[in-house]
Copies of this chain bind each other. A is one copy, B any other.
Amino acid sequence: MTTRTTRSLEHPARDDIRLAGVLHALSDPMRLHIVHVLAEEAEAQSCAVFDLPVSKSTTTHHFRVLRESGVIHQAYRGTAKVSCLRREDLDALFPGLLDGVLRACSLESARLAGRP
């Protein structure tokens, strides 16, 4: 009965990733946070570990935007769906961009925490 352990998940090919799309995906604070956390973890993370202050359906939405823009890769693992950054693709297309954004993200967090 078609036990598709791998339900299909659409990912853009490397050449279809667009800078404007990536920047748009990163321009939302919630998604920036997700990317920031993903960058610090070696393992692919389940969506559930983020505990975002929004509903489940909104969480799904944000992960989809990240995936469809080419920022993250997602795969089903059992009942969970795990996500990880597409570092290799992003670094090949836009060297230094992801690191620049992640560093900026860390610096801003520190700056805003220092001046509340």
Mark A residues whose CB is within 8 Å of B.
Answer: 15, 18-21, 23-24, 26-29, 32, 93-97, 99-101, 103-105, 107-108, 111, 115
Contact = CB atoms under 8 A, between A and B. Distances in A.
Given A27-B20, A27-B23, A32-B19, A101 B107 contact: no
Contact of A108 (B18, B26, B28, B108): B18
Copies in the complex: 2
A15 B32 CA distance: 19
B104 A19 contact: yes
Contact of A27 (B27, B32, B100): B27
A96 B96 contact: yes
A100 B108 contact: no
A15 B112 CA distance: 9
